[in-house]
């Protein structure tokens, strides 16, 4: 099927059921993902034919999620961004937020190829400057960046790297609003608030420390301080000890709006996480601009693969991260408003399965 012949999965839908044998082939248990493929500075981004905007007929209150079946992360990201028409970066100061919670291989952290493809896209589409920023939760952030070889990638693409846990007191801004579940509000890294645009690069995985799953909404936790220098509040202790942890995760997302989100589901953790876990290989790249839609589709994909009881339980839009995000107006408010867009029969078959899961749960 030609790239111009888009398949939009809507309600009602038609799709075949992927058999149990095929599904079981997606599952394999490993403690850690295989090593990342090295990136060279002169690696070329694939050239794709210019395509029409496939979202042109989507209602304004709907969200498009692009689903790309691939094992080639660079080509998958480039194709997804071409479909998104995410190119309005002229003269913008962009901040890229990867998942650097630890230095474990993907999906424990963002794959270097995903980061490379995103940086190259931003450069080729007019970004004035690019900063990669995060705060690790399980290791020292600078050491994570060094272990993953991010300084070489950043240099090759002219990007800056900021370890948020190295910011001084002036590098954080306190955020408090009525109804937040944070008892003392929370402190957000100023580079996030001062950027002209934000890109979120997240992985597909469960979270064994109370988040239940860590997709695009939870990727924002790395924007919040563990402690602000000279202050006594331990924000991460508040988060992880609270029965409202999932709602607090959603609250963080009120501080910014992403220009686009790439969810790497080439590999996934269906149990365990965020650093190690039971590995599956969906072979997918998801992309969009709506965090609720991305996370809802991500949860549907985890259910499709077979996941933890708590992620399997109940309606997807009643999962606390998603439910709270909807109440804050951060995305679509029902699964019927998510349009899954694919461009080949194999992706379409998977999209039909995910649509069924979204609507049923």
Q: Residue 156 belongs to a domain with what CATH number?
A: 3.40.50.11440
What φ, ψ does residue 102 adopt, rounded to 5°? -150, 180
* Contact in structure between 286 and 78 (CB atoms under 8 Å): no
| CA 318 distance to own-chain centroid | 20
| The pLDDT of residue 37 is above 90 | no
pTM: 0.87
Residue 215 and residue 204 in contact, taking contact as beta carbons nearer than 8 Å: yes
Q: Quick one: what percent of the chain has pLDDT higher than 70?
A: 84
Establish if 183 belongs to a structural domain. Answer: yes
Q: CA 15 to CA 22: how far, in whole Å?
A: 15
Residues 309-337: what's their mean pLDDT?
97
Under 8 Å CB-to-CB from 53, ≥6 apart: which residues?
85
Please report the beta strands in 21-121, taking only residues with DSSP state E, as ranges in sequence order.
Answer: 63-69, 93-97
Highest mean pLDDT out of 29-38, 51-60, 181-190: 181-190
Burial of residue 263 (number of CB atoms within 10 Å: 0-12, 13-18, 19+): buried
pLDDT, greater one: 8 or 144 = 144
**Computed from CA positions of residues 261, 72, 106, 151, in that sequence, does the dihedral angle turn out positive or negative?**
negative
User: How many structural domains compose the chain?
Assistant: 1
Whether 297 maps to a domain, the answer reads yes
In a domain, 348, yes or no: no
With a cut of 60, say whether residue 16 has pLDDT above it: no
pLDDT at 10 over 70: no
The helix-helix angle for 320-327 and 291-305 (nearest 10°) equals: 160
Q: Work out the mean pLDDT of the chain and round it to a whole number.
A: 87
Other CB atoms within 10 A of residue 278 CB: 21
105-157 pLDDT, tens per residue? 999 999 999 999 999 999 999 999 999 999 999 999 999 999 999 999 999 99
- Rounded Cα distance between 95 and 91, Å, is 13
Q: Is the pLDDT of residue 5 over 80?
A: no
Calpha distance 111→38 (Å, rounded)? 10
- 283: in domain: yes
112 domain residue, yes or no: yes
Domain span including residue 314: 65-331
pLDDT at 23 over 70: no
Q: Let me know if residue 55 belongs to a domain.
A: no
| 57-79 per-position pLDDT tens digit | 789 999 999 999 999 999 999 99
pLDDT at residue number 252:
98
CA angle 70, 74, 76 (to 5 degrees): 35
> Looking at the domain assignment, is residue 316 inside a domain?
yes
pLDDT digits (tens, 9 = 90+) for 275-313: 999 999 999 999 999 999 999 999 999 999 999 999 999
* 101 occurs within a structural domain: yes
Q: Please tell me the predicted confidence (pLDDT) of residue 86.
A: 62
- For 269, the enclosing helix (H) or strand (E) is strand 260-272
With 60 as the cut, is the pLDDT of residue 42 above it? no
Q: For residue 333, count CB atoms less than 10 angstroms from its CB and return exposed for 0-12, middle for 13-18, buried for 19 or more.
A: middle
- Over pLDDT 90: what percentage of the chain? 80
Cβ distance 284 to 31 under 8 Å?
no
């Amino acid at each position: 099927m030609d790239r111009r012949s888009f398949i939009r999965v809507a309600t009602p839908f038609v799709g075949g059921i992927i058999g149990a044998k095929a599904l079981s082939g997606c599952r394999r248990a490993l403690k850690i993902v295989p090593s990342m493929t090295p990136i060279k500075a002169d690696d070329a981004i694939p050239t794709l034919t210019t395509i029409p905007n496939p979202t042109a007929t989507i209602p304004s209150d709907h969200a498009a999620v692009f689903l790309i079946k691939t094992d080639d992360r660079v080509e998958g990201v480039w194709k997804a961004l071409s479909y998104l028409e995410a190119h309005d970066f002229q003269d913008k100061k962009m901040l890229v937020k990867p998942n650097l919670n630890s230095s474990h291989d993907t999906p424990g952290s963002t794959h270097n190829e995903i980061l490379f493809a995103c940086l190259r896209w931003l450069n080729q589409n007019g970004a004035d400057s690019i900063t990669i920023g995060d705060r690790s939760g399980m290791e020292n952030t600078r050491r994570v960046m060094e272990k993953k070889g991010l300084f070489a990638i950043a240099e090759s693409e002219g990007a800056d790297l900021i370890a948020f846990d190295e910011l001084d007191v002036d590098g954080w801004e306190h955020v408090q609003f009525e109804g937040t579940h944070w008892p003392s509000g929370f402190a957000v890294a100023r580079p996030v608030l001062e950027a002209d645009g934000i890109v979120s690069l997240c992985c597909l995985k469960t979270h064994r420390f109370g988040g239940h799953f860590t997709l695009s909404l939870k990727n924002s936790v790395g924007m919040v301080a563990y402690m602000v220098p000279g202050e006594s509040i331990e924000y991460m202790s508040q988060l992880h000890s609270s029965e409202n942890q999932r709602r607090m995760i959603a609250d963080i997302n009120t501080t910014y709006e992403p220009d686009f989100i790439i969810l790497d589901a080439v590999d996934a953790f269906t149990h365990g996480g965020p650093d190690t876990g039971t590995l599956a290989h969906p072979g997918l790249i998801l992309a969009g601009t709506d965090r609720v839609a991305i996370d809802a589709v991500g949860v549907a994909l985890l259910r499709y693969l077979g996941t933890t009881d708590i992620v399997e339980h109940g309606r997807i839009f009643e999962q606390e991260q998603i439910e709270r995000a909807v109440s804050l107006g951060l995305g679509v408010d029902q699964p019927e408003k998510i349009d899954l867009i694919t461009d080949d029969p194999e992706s379409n078959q998977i999209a039909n399965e995910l649509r069924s899961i979204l609507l049923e749960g």
